[in-house]
Structure 1
Amino acid sequence: MAGQRGGSRDGAGRKPLYDEPTKVVRVPESRVIEIKNYLAESTKTKFNDIASITLVNPSSVMSIPLASEKVAAGFPSPAQDYIDKTLDMNEHLIKNEAATFIVKVASLSMRDAGIEIDDELIVDRSIEAKHEDIVIALIDNEFTVKRLMIESDDNRWLKAENPEYSDIHLQDGQEMLIWGVVTFVIKPFRKR
């Protein structure tokens, strides 16, 4: 079979190092190691449990019909087919627009609290965190999502809701900044 050699094959060739196109540039030889080190650092994960943080911009109103009757977990009665009013999702989910962010989860450390990878958390930075709130915390320049445990003014720690992950107890010199309080979890129950 002449002429059947070569060509592209699935999985063949160099694997991409970055999530975007690259470009060839000339750099001074004396800076090559510095640039390689910079690129290696830039590909490391910056967050522990958080994939992304996005400011909420509720620029439009989305009104969804709200049933006038509460729904049982069984089959609803045909008599419950009445819609009394609509619900604006922005008003329902966002209390303080300027302080609300959507945070995408990147680990299973809160799995047993119903928070999984790629779930989106609505986080309000204007709320004061209380004992057992689920919070976004910043420790050693890394974000994490955990349950805040307050035993006293000077004994605050973060509880993982998955036995495969460790709780976080601050060591000497470590500081914890509560970045925001999780108010809602947005997750699909049906895959598209």
Structure 2
Amino acid sequence: MNAFHIIEIKNHLRRESLSDIESIFVVEPTIRMSIVAAIEKISAGFPSPAQDYIDKKIDMNEHLIRNECATFIVKVASLSMINAGIDIDDELIVDRSLDAKHDDIVVALIDNDFTVKRLQIDLNERWLKAENPEFKDIHLKEGQQLIIWGVVTFILKKARK
């Protein structure tokens, strides 16, 4: 392990101890962006015959945002949700108007720190599950308060680096 990797690990641990969230942005859907949608679904397995048919345009604001006044983009700063497909620097669309349910991925506030975890609700408690075995689940201690800040509705990530 070289010095660069050690610095990266130290920076990662420092970030993790503070918060899972790097930044929060308000969604401002004043610009409309539409992209073309194909009529046919594509196969993720074996190739199918090519289809060049275009159905309509999809307005990305309508597709991704239900309630623009309560929607934010949150940038992730840890690997605690990597097994849910959420990596460092991914952006999450978070809707604060939704009621969180069991198994939702949520942005939560605990002890003035934001975290992204999967909400678990059972008969005795509400707790937060990390989707990475290297990170601990969060079970509240006496005196701690769990505030569900919003529900993650989409994960925005690049497919090509």
The interval holding the TM-score normalised by the smaller chain is: 0.7 to 0.9
Unaligned runs of at least 5 residues, structure 2: 1-13
Matches within 5 A, 1:22-41: none
| Pick aligned residue for 2:26 from 39, 55, 62 | 55
Residue 75 of structure 1, CA deviation: 3.2
Partner SS for 2:62: helix
- Pair 1:98 & 2:69 matched: yes
- AA partner of residue 49 (structure 2): S
Unaligned runs of at least 5 residues, structure 1: 1-43
Distance, in Å, in 2 between the alignment partners of 1:109 and 1:57 is 28
Contact 1:47 1:144 in 2 (8 A): no
Name the Cα RMSD after superposition. Answer: 1.5
User: Whose strand proportion is higher, 1 or 2?
Assistant: 2
Residue 190 of structure 1, CA deviation: 0.3
Q: Which residue of 2 aligns with 1:182?
A: 152
TM-score of the aligned structures, taking structure 1 as reference length: 0.73
Considering Cα pairs closer than 8 Å and 6+ residues apart, tell me whether 1 or 2 has the greater RCO: 2
Q: Which residue of 2 aligns with 1:157?
A: 127
Distance, in Å, in 2 between the alignment partners of 1:47 and 1:76 is 48
Q: Which residue of 2 aligns with 1:67?
A: 38
TM-score of the aligned structures, taking structure 2 as reference length: 0.87
Q: Which residue of 1 aligns with 2:8?
A: none
Displaced runs of 4 or more, over 4 A: 44-47
Deviations 1:140-176 (A, max 9, x none): 0000000000002x51000000000000000000001
Please say which structure displays the higher CA radius of gyration. Answer: 1
Partner SS for 2:61: helix
Contact 1:55 1:101 in 2 (8 A): yes
**Count of equivalent residues:** 146
Deviations 1:24-63 (A, max 9, x none): xxxxxxxxxxxxxxxxxxxx86951000000000111111
Distance, in Å, in 1 between the alignment partners of 2:130 and 2:60 is 30
Q: Which residue of 2 aligns with 1:85?
A: 56
Distance, in Å, in 2 between the alignment partners of 1:53 and 1:62 is 21
